[in-house]
């Protein structure tokens, strides 16, 4: 596609529900990132994939958070037993390469509200 | 603690003036520093990347400087326009030359007509 596509754009969940957020990166981009952005804050790193390999998941807040990219393209971020503190915008970004010279192309984000 | 600081308060400037935003960091030795623009409800959009051995980088009305001694980057928008109003984020590679970028909190810029 022309850009990074994320769905759903908005998700309201009751506390305790599971949610799945989808990211469709730019075709051919090797690297894929998930960031969490709270209101008024900068994006916080969650996890990084190079192709299908999850090379870094150090930013995932708890074991309720799980991400996958099984075929090296589309990625899903799953949050189990959602809590109110999980409310945030979840941004996906892709990049052609894994080194620092690669600009990140972000999607529009998925805004999660946990009631 | 390790962190990246940007002007936490909004910056209001008059149209036509130069806006200058700062990005200060501690406890990192980045090889690269990037600047992004973020509009409300949208994802960040890449603007410029500057390498540690580059003192200055320009792109149209944008200019970025990178002082590794001061651990600071300055981002300038000359001849500012109301359309430049947005939040500007700086980001650096947490581990030199690698994928892991961390972001500052951003500075909200408002250009007044």
pLDDT of A1: 53
Q: Is residue B96's pLDDT more than 90?
A: no
- Please tell me which of the candidates A99, A103, A105 has its beta carbon nearest to residue B97: A99
Q: Do B99 and A31 touch (CB under 8 A)?
A: yes
DSSP codes joined into one string, A43-96? -EEEEEEETTEEEE-TT--STTEEEE-TTSS-EEEEESS--GGG-EEEEEEEES
Closest chain A residue by Cα to residue B39? A108
| Cβ within 8 Å, pair A56-B89 | no
Q: What is the CATH number of the domain that holds B20?
A: 2.60.40.10
Instruction: Encode pLDDT of A32-50 as tens digits.
Output: 999 999 999 999 999 999 9
Which domain does B47 fall in, by range? Answer: 3-112
d(CA B81, CA B60): 13
Using a CB-CB cut-off of 8 Å, the residues of chain B touching A105 are 46
pLDDT of residue B27: 84
Task: Map out the domains of chain A as residue ranges.
Answer: 5-110
| Structure-model confidence comparison of residues B62 and B8, the more confident one | B62
Of A44, A91, A101, the CB nearest to B43: A91
Residues in A touching B51 (Cβ below 8 Å): 101
pLDDT (average), residues B24-42: 93
Mean pLDDT of A13-25: 98
CATH class of A5-110: mainly beta
A2 touches chain B (CB under 8 A): no
CB contact under 8 A, B41 and A108: yes
Task: Report the residue from A42, A56, A109 with minimal CB separation from B103.
Answer: A42
Position B98 pLDDT exceeds 70: yes
Q: Are B103 and A43 in contact (CB under 8 A)?
A: yes
Q: What's the mean pLDDT in A93-111?
A: 89
pLDDT at B3: 82
Q: What's the pLDDT score for residue A2?
A: 83
Q: Looking at the 3D structure of chain B, how many domains does it have?
A: 1
């Amino acid at each position: 596609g022309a850009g990074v596509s994320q769905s759903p754009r908005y998700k309201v969940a009751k506390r305790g529900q599971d949610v799945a957020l989808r990211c469709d990166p730019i075709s051919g981009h090797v690297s894929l990132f998930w960031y969490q952005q709270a209101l008024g804050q900068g994006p916080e790193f969650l996890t990084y994939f190079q192709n299908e390999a999850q090379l870094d998941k150090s930013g995932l807040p708890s074991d309720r958070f799980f991400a996958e990219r099984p075929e090296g393209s589309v990625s899903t971020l799953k949050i189990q037993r959602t809590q109110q503190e999980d409310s945030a915008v979840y941004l996906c970004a892709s990049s052609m390469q894994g080194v620092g010279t690669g600009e990140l192309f972000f999607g529009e984000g998925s805004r999660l509200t946990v009631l | 603690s390790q962190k990246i600081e940007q002007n936490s308060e909004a910056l209001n400037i008059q149209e036509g003036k130069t806006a200058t935003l700062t990005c200060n960091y501690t406890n990192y030795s980045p090889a690269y520093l990037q600047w992004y623009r973020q509009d409300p409800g949208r994802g960040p959009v890449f603007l410029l990347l500057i390498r540690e051995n580059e003192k200055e980088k320009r792109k149209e009305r944008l200019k970025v400087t990178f002082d590794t001694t001061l651990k600071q980057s300055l981002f300038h928008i000359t001849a500012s326009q109301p359309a430049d109003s947005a939040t500007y984020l700086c980001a650096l590679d947490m581990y030199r030359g690698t994928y892991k970028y961390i972001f500052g909190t951003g500075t909200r810029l408002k250009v007044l007509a």
